[in-house]
Amino acid sequence: MNIFLDSSVAVAASLSTTGASREVFNHAARQGWRLFVSPWVLREVRENLANKPPEAAHAWVSLRAKATVEDDELTFDWPIVFEASKDKPVLFSALACADVLLTLDRRDFRDLLGQTIYGLRVVTPGEFLRIEREGGGLP
């Protein structure tokens, strides 16, 4: 399964060793999940971690090694109504390479959370892990 990570998930995983965002990173290799980010996401992570404790930036270095960087997608061929223009590159990049978009951004992705758009599921890390456990994919 290909999973695209919004910057909110990467930052949360860097800040906490026990949250759902970190658990996604911890289970990825074992579960055969491929984690993806884009240059857009990496820039947002850098900007957000600049204001956090230095330990978070150090944690991100090791977590970042578990993700593949895909090119930013700035346009999409199919019609999409999505108000949060700042996060369109996140959605478009996820649509180009992933089965699932994980985000904690309830403001910009509010209308898409829990939905599927052109086959892409948009969920929080916690919801994703719950679905995987219920489906027998996780212990």
User: Each residue of 115-130: pLDDT tens digit?
Assistant: 998 899 999 999 999 9
* CA nearest neighbour of 3 among 33, 25, 32, 27: 33
User: Each residue of 50-75: pLDDT tens digit?
Assistant: 999 999 999 999 999 999 999 877 55
- Contact assessment for residue 73 and residue 96, using Cβ atoms and an 8 Å cutoff: yes
pTM for this predicted structure = 0.91
Residue 127's H or E segment, with its range, is helix 125-134
Centroid of chain to Cα 57: 17
Indicate the fold that domain 2-134 takes in CATH.
Answer: Rossmann fold (3.40.50)
Domain positions in the chain are: 2-134
E strand intervals along the chain? 2-5, 34-37, 67-69, 100-102, 115-117, 120-123
